[in-house]
Amino acid sequence: MNFRSEVESLLSIALEERSDLFLIDLKIGADNSIRITLDGDEGVTLKDCMFVSRAIEHNLDREEHDFSLEVGSIGVGTALSLPRQYIKNRGRKLEVEGIDHTHYEGAVTAADNDGFSITWKQRENKPVGKGKITVIKNKTFSYSEIIRAKVVL
């Protein structure tokens, strides 16, 4: 088994044990540097990162492989990449850029494996007379209709 396969197998076992965590990115450099980025249904703690790090490091033979290992969580404001992240962020405000380069900002009201919906308030002209009224807008996206989306703090 090659080095990458060993790391992927150990990571898979660790994530099966901790089903609340999920993989965002795994990078293995030519120098055997391993960078793992995680997210979790309830966030990611330092203990979570240590758990995954130990699950990999303690099961790789340093005599056979010279490697470095870094396990971290997805950063705040990093673009969402998986449906599970949208589901996790229900109720939170997202900034969304559509494939037509329009921008939306609203709270996630629904999310599943096919897409998500956001809701926001917007001021519009009254249908009759002068002045403006506040209306509630909704937009549903499939994941293929967006360029990027990130949580707004």
Query: What pLDDT, on a 0 to 100 scale, did the predictor assign at position 9?
Result: 95
The CA-CA-CA angle for residues 38, 43, 49, to 5°, reads 45
- CATH assignment of 3-73, among 3.40.50.12780, 3.40.50.2300, 2.40.30.40, 3.30.300.70: 3.30.300.70
Report the alpha-carbon distance of residue 120 to residue 141 in Å, rounded: 14
HSE toward the beta carbon, residue 147, CA cutoff 13 A: 9
Domain ranges of the chain: 3-73, 83-151
* Res 141 pLDDT > 90: yes
Residue 95 has pLDDT above 90, yes or no: yes
CATH of domain 83-151: 2.30.30.100
Q: How would you write 60-90 as a 3-class SS string?
A: CCCCCCCCEEEEEECCCCCCCCCHHHHHHCC
Q: Does the pTM exceed 0.75?
A: yes
Could you read off the pLDDT of 13-71 as tens digits, one per residue? 999 999 999 999 999 999 999 999 999 999 999 999 999 999 999 999 888 889 999 99
Identify the band that residue 76 occupies on the pLDDT scale cut at 50, 70 and 90: confident
